[in-house]
Structure 1
Amino acid sequence: MPGTSALLPTADRDVVGAALQETLVDLLHLAATAKQAHWNLYGPRFRSVHLQLDEIVETARTFADTVAERAATIGVAPDGRPAATAKAGSSADVPAGPLSDTVVVATFTTAVADLSVRMRRRIADTDGLDAVSQDLLIETTAALEKHHWMLRAENTP
């Protein structure tokens, strides 16, 4: 296959590539869903939640690009097409139409927590296989968990 890299043994590349691909799809889905919520948000915390969603989108898009490039670097063709992300689905799914700030904060608090759990599994799965990719997964998880902390703070009375 064109672009296949000999940087990792095939079995290691398959595991790491799967972790990177799953992460890519999750991040693209999170970014698209957060933007959808951003556009349809209303409520007394509109401004703070609106800005937080923009930060989540920026984080997800930036790391998605880095993750996809890492996959390509190790010889795995990243797939960020809409069809690939549509299959993902997650707890970040939001309905069409107006969304209250309370619903959005609750939805994304859960979604980012769920994604963090999946990311930690991927970190464990790549342990000892490719330190560079694992480090990227760790860095991505740290950024997501910071967003989770901020979202949780929005729910504090």
Structure 2
Amino acid sequence: MTQTLKHTSHPAFQGSKQLASHLQQMLVDLTDLHLQGKQLHWNVVGKNFRDTHLVLDEVVDAARGFADDIAERMRAVYAIPDGRAATVVAQSSLPDVTAYEIDTADTVDAIVASLYAVAGTARRIHDDVDAEDPTSADMLHAILERIEQLAWLIDSENRVANSGSPRQVRP
């Protein structure tokens, strides 16, 4: 006869409901960014197609990797990640992207808007996350560093030197 033992752990840290909620929002937005990146990757057309097509794979790879990191961090602090399609649809803070062919310049604008939405989520939740769990906040730093870098790189495709908004800051 097999005896079933009740397992008990004594973690040094267990996340709060607020931490779980913040990390869940980050997970949802990163998951949506990955899906949007592939949608645009499959349907982009026009000048600089190849470069745009390839850079979208960089966005997808970053979003996938960061989403997995966040989900695994959630499990490490005893939170339950939810990456189901219905949850992503219901909770994403990213703007929608087209289901049809899209010109490269419009693709640039669309993915940059989504990258900045993800960065906005990371910045919005950062202080609360940092107050409770600096380790999770460090993950947000890495996400911000890469996502904002990708936004800058991709957005530069449509920029005109010394014009546009926001204005460039000179020291």
TM-score, normalization by structure 2: 0.83
Q: 1:90 to 1:20 in 2, by over 3 A?
A: closer
Unaligned runs of 5+ in 2: 1-6, 161-171
Unaligned runs of 5+ in 1: none
- Is the 1:105–1:151 contact (alpha carbons within 8 Å) kept by the matching residues of 2? yes
- Is the 2:25–2:92 contact (alpha carbons within 8 Å) kept by the matching residues of 1? no
1:71 aligns with 2:78: no
- Is the 2:33–2:63 contact (alpha carbons within 8 Å) kept by the matching residues of 1? yes
1:127 to 113, 127, 130: 130
Question: In terms of mean alpha carbon deviation, does 65-74 or 91-100 score higher?
Answer: 91-100
For residues 66-112 of structure 1, give each alpha carbon's deviation from its aligned partner in whole angstroms, at most 9, with x where no partner exists.
10000001000100011111113444421211111111101111221
Q: In proportion to residue count, which structure has more helix?
A: 1
* Structure (1 or 2) with the larger CA radius of gyration: 2
Number of residue pairs the alignment of both structures matches: 154
- Is the 2:126–2:137 contact (alpha carbons within 8 Å) kept by the matching residues of 1? yes
The aligned counterpart of 2:115 is 112
- Helix, strand or coil for the counterpart of 1:154? coil
Q: 1:99 to 1:8 in 2, by over 3 A?
A: same
2:86 to 83, 87, 93: 83
1:8 to 8, 13, 25: 13
RMSD: 1.9
Q: 1:116 to 1:3 in 2, by over 3 A?
A: farther
Question: In terms of mean alpha carbon deviation, does 70-79 or 106-115 score higher?
Answer: 106-115
| 1:5 CA drift (Å) | 7.0
2-structure distance, mates of 1:92, 1:110: 7
**Percent identical across equivalent pairs?**
33
- Helix, strand or coil for the counterpart of 2:130? coil
